[in-house]
Amino acid sequence: MRHDLSDLADTKQNDIQVAHPLMLTPGILALLSGDGPVRIPVARPSLPRTDLLVPYLRQIDETQIYANHGPLVDQFEARMAARLGLQRSEVISCNSGTMALVGLIRATRSLWNHPGRLCLLPAYTFVATAGAVMSCGYECHLVDIDPVSWAMEPAALRSHPRLSEVGLVVPVAPYGRMIDLQGWQDFQSETGIPVVVDAAACLDQLMRDSSCVPEAVPLALSLHATKSFGSGEGGLVLSCNSTLVKETYKVLNNGFFGSRDAQTVGLNGKMSEYTAVVALAELDGFADKLARWAKVAEAYAAAPPAAGVRLWTAPDVSACYALAEVGSAGHAADLRARLTDRGIDVRNWYGAGLPAHPAYAHLWKDTLTVSNDIASRVIGLPCFTDLTDTDISRITAELR
């Protein structure tokens, strides 16, 4: 749902962050002294309660299997495949969303054997995207995004001046927004360059419409606690290419498949049985959790509009996000400062883009006009399943 609403700042769950961390405004001093309103965090993950985990934990006690693709991991993967309308051989789990991306990239490189060692990826993404690509031995070239989709577009890359050097493209689905997956399949088919999609926040979107899973392009997803579907930490690999899934399995299983002989250079990226416990309990109750996410999105959408502010909520983005897009960087900075001063935490989830991070400032890049603009104007508002209507009214009142 897109509506006219507003913008945000930056914080973690148990600390107060302001636009200028050393500047203690009157509002922050009031919060620290206990005189102000209760602080609203930007995120407060909600995973299955202990009593819902116990039946699965008892299964671990019985089997005494704790890792290495145990029965609970297998059950989770099978149930998730069925939930998404995929074959069992088209889904595997791992220990993080970043490892899902690493496993897919390494498996893709092994199967395609493409000579290029340059990867094109968007400048506007979370740092884990670039970290995963570089850990697989690729050099990165950052590409600007589209002002409407906030994503790297396949049509724009067909004429990229370095295309002949490219051995991998990693599009990102920003904030769980669905990207042009058919367009990326066509790009892969026409150029012969493999594509791996960082779809970290897309699982709730895919569970609503499993037809979104593409036939020829694989997806890496995150099950981090902050995502709409969480297991604390974890990841998923989805691909209709069972050969690619099998190769990814090897990569994430120290190179092993069916024997103790390593068939490829691998890593230990497996999901543990304990993580599978949380994932299974989350799956058991996910219909109810989706309803709670929807209630939050609806409350944001029902708020009176704020001039010059567009609010993005589910289903246009993943349910774990409420984003305020404003017209200028100055407006965004003012809103961040005001919201934080009033005890409302905000966050720029992707920061100022990859080049703003010291670790990635050296990367090759195109002119990043749109990326820099969007990064300066889009802010993450508080969004979690037990956010109350009163909280949302307080947040949106400050936007106005």
Domain membership of residue 197 as a residue range = 50-284
Residue 212 has a pLDDT of 77
What is the rounded distance in angstroms from the CA atom of residue 363 to the CA atom of residue 100? 23
Q: Within this chain, do residues 124 and 257 fall inside the same structural domain, yes or no?
A: yes
Q: Within this chain, do residues 116 and 258 fall inside the same structural domain, yes or no?
A: yes
Q: State percent of the chain over pLDDT 70.
A: 91
Q: Within this chain, do residues 327 and 270 fall inside the same structural domain, yes or no?
A: no
Last residue of a domain, one of 284, 311, 328: 284
Residue 214 has a pLDDT of 86
Q: Within this chain, do residues 90 and 63 fall inside the same structural domain, yes or no?
A: yes
Residue 37 has a pLDDT of 77
For strands 2-3 and 309-312, give the pairing. Answer: antiparallel
Q: Within this chain, do residues 173 and 306 fall inside the same structural domain, yes or no?
A: no
Q: Within this chain, do residues 386 and 308 fall inside the same structural domain, yes or no?
A: yes
Please report, for residues 7, 150, 229, 245, 276, the alpha-carbon distance to residue 281 in angstroms, rounded to integers and kept in the order given: 34, 34, 11, 25, 8
Q: Within this chain, do residues 291 and 192 fall inside the same structural domain, yes or no?
A: no
The backbone torsions φ and ψ at residue 390, rounded to the nearest 5 degrees and listed phi first, read -65, -45
Structural domain total, the chain: 2
Q: Within this chain, do residues 32 and 103 fall inside the same structural domain, yes or no?
A: no
Please report, for residues 57, 76, 231, 271, 322, the alpha-carbon distance to residue 50 in angstroms, rounded to integers and kept in the order given: 10, 18, 13, 20, 28
Q: Within this chain, do residues 226 and 278 fall inside the same structural domain, yes or no?
A: yes
Indicate which CATH number applies to the domain containing 37. 3.90.1150.10
Indicate which CATH number applies to the domain containing 108. 3.40.640.10
What is the rounded distance in angstroms from the CA atom of residue 292 to the CA atom of residue 272? 28
Residue 375 has a pLDDT of 98
Q: Which residue has the tokens 């790297």?
A: 152
Q: Within this chain, do residues 156 and 271 fall inside the same structural domain, yes or no?
A: yes
pTM above 0.85, yes or no: yes
Last residue of a domain, one of 268, 284, 300: 284
Residue 211 has a pLDDT of 74
Last residue of a domain, one of 258, 284, 310: 284
- Terminal alpha carbon distance of the chain: 19
Q: Which residue has the tokens 């290495």?
A: 68
Q: Within this chain, do residues 245 and 305 fall inside the same structural domain, yes or no?
A: no
Tokens at 257, concatenated: 């498949």
Q: Within this chain, do residues 71 and 207 fall inside the same structural domain, yes or no?
A: yes
Residues of the chain with pLDDT under 70: 1-36
Beta strands in the chain (DSSP E): 2-3, 91-94, 118-122, 139-143, 166-169, 197-198, 219-222, 235-238, 309-312, 322-326, 364-365, 378-381
